[in-house]
Amino acid sequence: MRVHIATDHAGLELSDYLVKHLTAKGFEMVNHGPKSYDPEDDYPAFCINAAKAVVADQRAGVDALGIVLGGSGNGEQIAANKVEGIRAALAWNLDTAKLAREHNNANVIAVGGRQHSVEEAAELIEAFLAEPFSEAERHVRRIGKIAAYETTGEVID
């Protein structure tokens, strides 16, 4: 599986760890930055570029997911979710990480680097990457309604 990762300065240490850790586990890691620590950097471009790469890969039939990191993960999740086709979920425990995939077929996980130890964050992300989408009809239906709004602006009851 290809995994696109992006962060800001607050998640850089975690991002560097995850690139090495997940590469060793067999994932193809694509780092969208930043490459070095800058306390004044802005996460939107990094996260949007990672999200765009996830969508492009998935549309091309590549098995791909994404990771966006920051201090809390909130802004990074918001930035990623601005990309059409992205369902980014903020995970703060194992249940939210797994349910993001199982129920919502999330294709990007957001994690706060200042909210977890490196080991805890890695555990959340590995759980997310391993969890399959349930394919349950109710979840497919709900995701379809979100996608319809995203592409047409129509709200479906």
Task: Write down the catalytic residue from 103, 126, 131, 139.
Answer: 103
Q: Quote the CA–CA distance of 41 and 101 in Å, as a whole number.
A: 30
| 76: annotated active-site residue | yes
Which residues, 6 or more positions from 102, have their beta carbon under 8 angstroms from its beta carbon? Answer: 131, 132, 133, 134
User: Is the Cα torsion angle 103, 88, 6, 121 positive or negative in sign?
Assistant: negative
Binding site listing for D-ribulose 5-phosphate: 8-9, 71-75, 104, 114, 138, 142
32, 76, 102, 116: which is the annotated catalytic residue? 76
Residue 102 C-beta-side C-alpha neighbours within 13 Å:
8
Does the annotation mark 32 as catalytic? no
Annotated binding-site residue numbers: 8-9, 71-75, 104, 114, 138, 142
Which residues form the catalytic set? 76, 103
